[in-house]
């Protein structure tokens, strides 16, 4: 009877950890698919689209996630095949540095004005 109980507990623990791992890979897969643009659809991510292209990408991403590839590796693969455009989040490249740096510059500029005004007012 005791042995049966121990086996049952081990079985439950293994099943639980398995389902948690499945959940994690499913989460990672969905996260990636939401950041991948469906190139043949109008304004849809691969996650939202049911087109042939999107469903094939879903299968490829699922396989790569199941094979243990990281998010970065999968993005790199997709970028190699389809270019930067396939990703919604642009990377910091020579073409996109203005896009990334402009908000920071604006923030610093605005902050400097506010700081200066406050200091002047205090004085």
Partner 1 sequence: MKIKIFLFIIILFFIFCFFIFYKGLNNSNIYKPNVEIKKDIPIFIAKDFYLENEVNSEKIFVDSNFYILNIWASWCVPCRKEHSILMELNRNQSIKLIGLNYRDNLNNAKNFISELGNPYSQILIDDDGTIAIEFGAYGVPETFIIDKDKKIIKKFVGPLNNKLLQEIKSFLK
List, as one string, the DSSP characters of 55-112.
HHHHHHHHHHHHTT--HHHHHHHHHHHH-GGGBSS----TTTHHHHHHHHHHHHHHHH
- Mark the segment that binds partner 1 (CB under 8 A) among 8-16, 18-26, 28-36, 57-65: 57-65
Q: How many residues bind partner 1 (CB under 8 A)?
A: 16
Enumerate the β-bridge partners of residue 87.
36
Binding mask 9-38 for partner 1 (x = CB under 8 A): ------------------------------
Select from 17, 19, 20, 56 the one that contacts partner 1 (CB under 8 A). 56
On whether the CB atoms of residues 65 and 27 are closer than 8 A, the answer is: no
- Contact between 87 and partner 1 (CB under 8 A)? no
- Contact between 42 and partner 1 (CB under 8 A)? no
On whether the CB atoms of residues 76 and 84 are closer than 8 A, the answer is: no
Residues that bind partner 1 (CB under 8 A): 39-40, 52-53, 55-57, 59-60, 63, 80-83, 85, 98
């Amino acid at each position: 009877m005791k042995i049966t109980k121990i086996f049952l507990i081990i079985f439950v623990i293994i099943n639980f950890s398995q389902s948690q791992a499945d959940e994690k890979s499913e989460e990672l897969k969905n996260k990636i698919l939401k950041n991948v643009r469906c190139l043949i659809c109008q304004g849809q991510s691969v996650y939202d689209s049911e087109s042939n292209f999107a469903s094939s990408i879903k299968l490829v991403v699922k396989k790569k996630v199941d094979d243990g590839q990281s998010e970065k590796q999968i993005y790199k693969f997709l970028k190699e095949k389809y270019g930067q455009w396939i990703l919604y989040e642009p990377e910091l490249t020579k073409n996109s540095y203005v896009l990334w740096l402009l908000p920071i510059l604006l923030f610093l500029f605005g902050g400097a004005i506010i700081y200066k005004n406050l200091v002047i007012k205090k004085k």
